[in-house]
Amino acid sequence: MTDEIRAGFGRLLAGIAGELDLPPSKREDVENKYKAVADWLGKPESALARYEPEIYPHGSFQLRTVVRPLGHDEFDLDFVCRLNIAAQPGNQSDIKKMVGDRLRENGTYRSNRMIREKNRCWRLNYAGDFHMDIMPAVPDISRADDGILVSDRDLASWVPSAPRPFARWFDQQQVPFRQKYRSVFNASVEELPDQQIKTPLQVSVQILKRHRDKHFQGQPKLRPSSIVLTTLAAKAYGQQDDLLDALRAIVTGMPHQVDLSADGVPVVLNPTNPNENFAEKWQEHPERLGAFRAWLVKASQDLDELLELRGLDQIGEFLADRLGQREANAVLRAEGQAISDAHQQHRLEVTAVTGPMIVGKPREPVRPSTSYGTR
């Protein structure tokens, strides 16, 4: 495979990840809205004010691995509402209720019927746009880091969690790449903050999450959780610069990152808390582990098949089936336009670096006569 063809495939996959992600304008809107919620919860007249409420993102929004849900435009985004209260046996429901009561005191949230209680959070529904899940939490004094305890309605107890320590661990898996990328491309990216440079790991997680969603469409109970996928992907990532190399390493390496407990049970341990098993459901539902392994085999096969295709029509049809019609159409339109522009302007530049993606900046066009060939 030539560098031009590799660059073309990498650009298409990175483009699909961009289509799956929050647009910069929507991310800014989300940030403004969750800051408004934080301000409302912490106002001096609020019953929560003395507990110094702090809201911060966790999950895919924090890791920058957001993926648009299949079939609709509303993103599911998660936030922590940390209150400076000591956890006591039995007070988790009361603390969660305090947060819900304060949210309902806001006329906008209440009048628009935006608020809905879920197992561990309060959901604010910005219809047609996104869901903001606000998860009440208190400090976990058993930990020396930013660990928290979360109210779980179904278990009627506090449950430990560590979104900030996990985010730091995830970011550490990308530090060597970021340092190398900045050293190579310092002149063009030295003013960009790290959050504007998507790494091959982040893009790979987005691609695999969408491939998973398509693969398990109609079988949601068998679908591996995002935290399991993200953890194993980060462990399998080997600092590859190229997106295709990263995807290959992650897909083939993830099965080997599943550990065994002392009892021989497959586990996916939280790298920041070895007492937490992200894959605890596998023991109760072993068919989910089998489905996870079968999906990884399929993902590897699909990557091989994709790289054998030539011609934008065949590639577009394949990407639409595996990753989504809307996203495939968007990147194929952009690619076709780039090729047309390159023909008209006689540009022959090609980039073989398909790993990083600078948010909001288009990639250079590839040489149109050799990008994908024919088949």
Residue 35 main-chain phi, psi, to 5 deg: -70, -35
Total domain count, the chain: 2
Q: What is the pLDDT of residue 168?
A: 95
Instruction: Report if residue 200 sits inside a domain.
Output: yes
Pair 200, 330 in one domain: yes
Alpha carbon distance 236, 207 (integer Å):
15
Return the CATH number at 49: 3.30.460.90
Pair 145, 204 in one domain: no
Residue 78 pairs in a beta bridge with: 58, 133
Provide the terminal-to-terminal Cα distance of the chain, rounded to the nearest Å: 14
Domain of 128 in residue numbering reads as 25-160
Instruction: Report if residue 367 sits inside a domain.
Output: no
Residue 315, pLDDT > 70, answer yes
Q: What is the pLDDT of residue 343?
A: 64
Instruction: Report if residue 124 sits inside a domain.
Output: yes
Q: What is the pLDDT of residue 100?
A: 95
Instruction: Report if residue 370 sits inside a domain.
Output: no
- Strand pairing class (157-161; 148-152): antiparallel
- State the chain's mean pLDDT as an integer: 87
Please state the rounded mean pLDDT for residues 149-162.
92
Pair 278, 309 in one domain: yes
- Residue 342: pLDDT band (50, 70, 90) is low
The pTM of this model reads 0.88
Pair 205, 301 in one domain: yes
Alpha carbon distance 96, 74 (integer Å):
25
Q: How many CB atoms lie within 10 A of CB 106?
A: 17
Q: Residues 139, 160, 81, 146: is their CA dihedral positive or negative?
A: positive
- Strand pairing class (115-117; 269-270): unpaired
- Residue 373: pLDDT band (50, 70, 90) is very low
Q: Which residues have C-beta within 8 Å of that of residue 210, sequence separation ≥ 6?
A: 16, 20, 67, 70, 323, 324, 327
Instruction: Report if residue 322 sits inside a domain.
Output: yes
- Residue 188: pLDDT band (50, 70, 90) is low
Residue 330 main-chain phi, psi, to 5 deg: -65, -45
Residue 306 pairs in a beta bridge with: none
Q: What is the pLDDT of residue 195?
A: 62
Please state the rounded mean pLDDT for residues 186-206.
74
Pair 305, 350 in one domain: yes
Please state the rounded mean pLDDT for residues 70-91.
90
Instruction: Report if residue 364 sits inside a domain.
Output: no
Burial class (CB in 10 A: 0-12, 13-18, 19+), 191: exposed
Question: Tokens at residue 135, please?
Answer: 């998860």
Domain limit, last residue, from 106, 130, 160? 160
DSSP 144: S
Pair 15, 67 in one domain: no
**By three-state DSSP, how is residue 130 classified?**
strand
